[in-house]
Amino acid sequence: MKLIKAFLVVSFEALMNIIFALPRYKVFFYLKKGLLVSMGAKIANNVFIYPGVWISSGKNLVIEEDVDLAKDVLITTQGGVFIGARTLIGYRSQILSSNHTIPPIGEPFPVSGDSYGKIHIEKDVWIAANCIITAGVRIGEGAVIAAGSVVTKDVEPNTIVGGVPAKFIKKRTAKI
């Protein structure tokens, strides 16, 4: 039974790798969306999924319309992930709704367990390249996350944050 389960998991991962390696043409979006929906995700229309995106497992994922997932984005969904409309997620960014817990000294890491936290990204957010969004974070509407940032705390609406860990840089200004 263990061997069969392992074979099915590896086969599914191989299929996912093939489908998510396809270019971002509209026709391939339906294949990618279909695979994610079969895993329990809710995906709106006009979501651009570049090659190399990896989403595991798809369950507890909601992506609204006009979202752009750039090349090599990684999303773990066990804790729940919501991505609002018109959001841009830059190259190689990671949205991690789960993490390993740190065990007491003397206990091994592989059996330490997992912790989960919902990630909620409001609409009109720009997450630049190489960012990490950690479990339990809420990013407010209109926020901008500077390239290379690690977001460990909530981000207020219409603010720009950056750094490791991400800190307030400035408020966005209105168009005059």
DSSP 104: P
For residue 37, give the nearest of 91, 97, 77, 7 by alpha carbon. 77
* 87: phi then psi, degrees, rounded to nearest 5: -100, 140
The phi and psi torsions of 92 (rounded to 5 degrees) equal 60, 20
The residue annotated as part of the active site, out of 42, 100, 153, 170, is: 100
d(CA 166, CA 141): 17
Active site includes 120? no
Report, as residue numbers or ranges, the catalytic residues.
100
